[in-house]
Amino acid sequence: MIPLALNLFLLRPQPFERFAYPRWQAVLALTLIGLLVGLDPQFRLDTPEVSAMPLWLALSLGVLLIWAVALVTLAVLRWWMQRGQRWDGRGELFNLLVAAWLITSVLGAGLVALGVPHLLTLPLYLYSLWVGGNALSNAIPKASLGYSIVGILISMVPGLLISAVITGLALLLAVLTGVVPAPA
């Protein structure tokens, strides 16, 4: 899976058949991305409003968030790519999605862990839109690059909403159970 993800990052065309690798690899890679999200120092930032959350909670929340966003993105992209009979629904869209995310997510998390501000990693994440759109348009010949990128952007709206709801509920539950002290 890693060589395939690297080829996607380098914008090398990959047919849909290449994404038929075992699902456990995509599950493991997506969970790794979630753990890296949880390790982000700013994700656990201790502010006057909210005390720093414990590492175990940040890691759990990172995994939960990335899985929720991935599943929502998968559902929206499955619907979007089947519109206008561009895609017949066959193929490993989940594996394609995770492979397209893997390199940019790991690079972004690594840069943030090294102290690079989030704003400076923005070009990398914008490039990830291009990587994902390119991966979709190469795997699904009837889908153009622009159509694929729009599908990714559309899927980001419910993904961001669900992540906001999950984060809010997790923090509320953490405060109510005393895991994180209540704001002053």
Alpha carbon 15 to its chain's center: 22
The whole-number pLDDT of residue 64 equals 93
Question: In the numeric block, which tokens belong to residue 112?
Answer: 């943030």
Residue 51 is predicted with a pLDDT of 57
- Which helix (H) or strand (E) segment holds residue 67: the answer is helix 55-82
Residues 94-110: pLDDT tens digits?
999 999 999 999 999 88
Tokens representing 44 are 């656990």
- pLDDT, tens digit, for every residue of 16-68? 899 999 999 999 999 999 998 888 777 665 555 555 677 888 888 889 999 99
Contact 80/162 with Cβ under 8 angstroms? no
| Residue 180, token pair as written in the block | 């994180």
Closest CA to 92 of 110, 107, 80, 74: 74
Residue 175, pLDDT score: 76
Half-sphere exposure of 18 (CA within 13 A, CB side): 21
